[in-house]
Chain A
Amino acid sequence: MCEETIATLIKDIKSLKEQIREKEQLLAAHLKVQSNVPCKYSEALQTNEIARYSRQMLVDEVGLAGQISLKASKVLIVGAGGLGCPAAVYLAGAGVGQITIVDYDEVELSNLHRQILHSEDDVGASKVHSAYDKLHSLNRSIQIIPLKMHVNSASISQLMSDNSYDVVIDGSDNVATRYLLNDACVLNKMPLVSGSALQTEAQLTVYNYNNGPCYRCLFPVPPPPDTVKSCGDGGVLGPVPGVIGCLQALETIKILTKSDGVLAGRFLLFDGSTSRFRTATLRPRSPECAVCGHHPTVKELQDYEQFCGAGAHDKVVSIDILRSVDHINPQQLEKVLEDSLVVDVRDQAQYRMCHLPKTVNIPYGEILKAEGAKKFSDCLEAAGKREVYFLCRRGNDSQRALDHLKQVFSGSNVNFFNVKGGLEAYSHNVDADFPIY
């Protein structure tokens, strides 16, 4: 009964919020018409605008002219995540006239420590709508356009041919989207404020501005896919993208107000673990660059997933490198825990966070080395078991570990099995108390 009530309440609140959002959009449209009356004591701004933006207009870098520029500007923010959220907050606060925010994802509980526009009530809702609600309540006099869409060559081409953005902010989470946004910005002559973060480190620069390099000038060839780590795998401390998202807003304001000192042709590195910022001088725009050079070969947007050999998202794709007989379902795991060796191959940090009882932890990275294989055979001997089950977060690394050890111990009388879908599947199918992270 209680669960039913909770579910109904959640559903009702969601629908009411939807209604409120619609009514607010209507109200905003009406207010916009009504409030377009200039202040009789100012040449360009309204009374409340002068009061609201006075603190930044008093700064030389902005002034009246800068504020007018901000009001007339259009900014595209790609990604309503750890970078996009703080960037959007400061740009909305600063009075940028039109902010378009694009993301396809829905809010998850694991986003909340860094994606500061989303709150507990938004879990399950689309990120752009959650972002819209907060930004709109911060500043009703500007236009916020939430776009829930996949970012790909077709959608970005369309968006950029329909709109002329003064600045594009890259707050995305994958390599393919970074190349796509770079090329789109070069082809449409828009500066790209690019930030990225992982664990305790972050990077920031402005591409395609003031004769500075573009992303391809620096990185003509994409990195090998297995060298790229996502926040979901490597982790990230919330304030680290927070710092860079704030700086992306600052660089954007500087570009829009035509201030000197924009971080183009320079690369900022932030290491949160030592609280160190350093700025490096970059090469200029490369005449040989495939997209912004003298003889470009990239004249329209490409298939960037193919170019990078990786999907335009930061999700893990399931693999299947074993025969079906080598798998068991997580539902069968409980029965075998007593009589077999169950090896959890996640790294130590993940294992410590949560694990099934009666399992041993030998990280996949160790298994690939001689000492890991030795540790495995010691465990096997100590347990005196002939059946071994491999387990990990989603069921990919466990297959790789199994495949490797099966070769190392070929000819032995040990039977190897993989737990299909890993601990995520265990949580879905056996016990929802096991955390999905």
Chain B
Amino acid sequence: MDIKLEFGGGAELLFDNQKQYKITLENKKTPWLIGDLLFWMKDNLLKDRPELFLQNDSVRPGILVLVNDTDWELMDTVRYEIKPNDSILFISTLHGG
């Protein structure tokens, strides 16, 4: 299954400073949930300091997750079942002004 991962607001710094990744998730017996994807990302993409991205099986406070431009809170968060061609954006909130 091909999906797109996007990063912004500084979250890209944890992923080799790359704002977009096109990735392929191998078929598995159970559906791919975002919770599974987070661990996949930790194992395959995260360069260092995973605690700056993950905390207690979810993203750390201050990161907003958008699935096809919709807040993941409206999509059952880590339990959302990923569909082909989904675009999942991890955005770190900014505080400067």
Q: Which residues of A contact B81 (CB under 8 A)?
A: none
Q: Does A202 contact B (CB under 8 A)?
A: yes
Could you tell me the distance in whole angstroms from the C-beta of B79 to the nearest C-beta in chain A? Answer: 15
Chain B contributes a number of interface residues (CB within 8 A of A) equal to: 23
Q: Is the interface of A mostly helix, strand, loop or mixed?
A: mixed
Asked if A278 is at the interface of the complex by the 8 Å CB criterion, the answer is: yes
Q: Chain B residue with minimal CB distance to A235?
A: B96
| Residue from the list B8, B61, B69, B97 in contact with A222, Cβ < 8 A | B61
A196 in complex: contacting residue of B48, B64, B70, B96, CB < 8 Å = B96
Give which listed residue, B52, B60, B95, contacts A178 with CB less than 8 A: B95
- Asked if B62 is an interface residue, CB under 8 A from chain A, the answer is yes
Q: Which of A175, A227, A269 contacts B8 (CB 8 A)?
A: A269
| In the assembled complex, A314 has its CB within 8 A of some CB on chain B | yes
Identity of the chain B residue whose Cβ is nearest the Cβ of A218 in the assembled complex = B64
| A317 contacts B by Cβ under 8 Å | no
Scoring A residues 224 to 235 as 1 if CB is less than 8 Å from chain B, else 0, what string do you get? 101111110010
Whether B97 pairs with A241 at a CB distance below 8 angstroms is yes
With A222-B62, A229-B10, A283-B74 known as contacts, the answer to whether A171 contacts B94 (CB < 8 A) is no
Q: In this assembly, does B86 line the interface, its C-beta being within 8 Å of a C-beta of chain A?
A: no
From B48, B52, B93, B96, residue with most partner A Cβ within 10 Å: B96
Q: Is A104 part of the contact surface with B, judged by Cβ < 8 Å? A: no
Contact B52 A227 (CB under 8 A): yes
Contacts A221-B61, A224-B60 given; indicate if A282 touches B71 (C-beta within 8 A).
Answer: yes
* Whole-angstrom distance between the Cβ of A86 and the nearest chain B Cβ: 11
B33 at interface, CB cutoff 8 A: no
B-contacting residues of A (Cβ < 8 Å)? Answer: 79, 81-84, 170-175, 178, 195-199, 201-203, 218-224, 226-231, 234, 236, 241, 267, 269, 271, 278-283, 314, 369
Q: A201-B8, A201-B10 are in contact. List 15 more A-B contacts (CB 8 A).
A: A173-B95, A173-B97, A174-B95, A196-B97, A198-B9, A201-B9, A203-B91, A227-B10, A227-B62, A230-B96, A236-B96, A280-B64, A280-B69, A281-B70, A283-B71
